[in-house]
Amino acid sequence: MIHKQQLINRFISYVTIDTESNPNSITTPSSKNQWELAHKLVDELKSIGMEEVTLDDNCYVMAALPSNVDFEVPVIGFVSHMDTSPDFTARNVKPQIIENYDGKDIVLNERENIILSPSYFDDLLQYKGQTLITTDGTTLLGADDKAGICEIVSAMEYLIQHPEINHGKIRVCFTPDEEIGRGAHHFDVEKFGADWAYTMDGSQVGELEYENFNAAKAVVTIQGKIVHPGYAKGKMINSQHIATDFINSLPRLEKPEHTEGREGFFHLSSVQGGVDKTVLDYIIRDLDKNIFEARKEMFTKLATEINSQLENNLVTVKLTDQYFNMREKIEPVMHIVDIAEEAMIAAGVTPIIKPIRGGTDGSQLSYMGLPCPNIFAGGHNFHGRYEYIPVESMQKATEVIVKIANLTAEKYQL
């Protein structure tokens, strides 16, 4: 069993480093602070006995644990990302440790009356009696995905300290900028050299995922004309009103707050503008490729329709594909999902096999030739002040990594 305090100490040492990625940056990594965690991980991986430890010019950390068996075993990998979401600040994270959680409200910040309550977040009740790590209500926590990093490093350390556990060669990689969709953009699959891998980037204990959304970004730009409102008749074109028409013309219930399971959505992530110009940033998501394409087409058709009612083509749409459903790349090698499921059961975890309502580095890596399902890291309420993680879930995730390594070796033993 992985020691709880060891996990707590390691996790806190990671989350107190601000690694928020920046979607407006054109550099890799998108924020300088990610280098701080990368250098720390390089030192730590070397100190626990990992080999082939490298940090490249794009801030990708890689390392290897050599095989300890005398027969050939496929090389497997484990991947997590170093950055945190720009949706909410990661500056000056102050983790709080709640031991033996009693199932009641948790006061994150008394001064600002910020409460983490099971009456709203009922998944908390699964973890009565466990040790929780929460925020102080003013930042996110960073369990997405520093919990995954913590679990991978801890599992490698455990395997090094327990050479009686058979395993083949294992590769690990920690990536920058996953939260802004660039985590795999400079991933050197050939250098990594694994036959398959797992991202440790899921949420609730037991999650095992080999499907994810097809994803696109849509930027809708509406041009208006601004003149003095006292002389505006027949002259002013208020781009904000046109933007409102565009927003209201999309299916009202096909939004994240109204969908679940396999249902896709349109999500308006930001609005910037005034009378003269308004820009709408959308993300488009669907598990079904055909419906995904139809969703994108809806944007272009809607722009054409609105433009036909105006004197000029004032509405433009720029669509950019971000990633695709990994399922078609995983199904031909479903044994890698079977191994993860078997490892969970061996660790006393009930597998929850379901689609990811989002994406991971693994979705892009799968299309780059590295099949890469996703496994739980244990956190909840990512990207905001109510984020928390049970330490016991981190223990289980670490144990699952160890079990996967051992099971893979056992299945290939002559």
Please list the active-site residues: 83, 178
Contact 60, 173 (CB under 8 A): yes
Q: Where are the beta strands (DSSP E) in 119-247?
A: 132-134, 170-175, 196-202, 207-209, 214-223
**Residue corresponding to tokens 């990661």:** 90
Secondary structure letter of residue 52 according to DSSP: E
Beta bridge partners of 267: 283
In this structure, how many other beta carbons lie within 10 angstroms of the beta carbon of residue 201? Answer: 30
Nearest alpha-carbon partner for 288 in 263, 307, 267, 308: 263
**Residue corresponding to tokens 């107190």:** 16
**Residue corresponding to tokens 């036959």:** 195
Nearest alpha-carbon partner for 268 in 241, 249, 289, 290: 249
CA-angle at 381, arms to 379 and 383, nearest 5°: 100
* CA distances to 128, 198, 199, 203 from 360, in Å: 29, 10, 7, 12
Locate 405 and state its tokens.
Answer: 């390594």
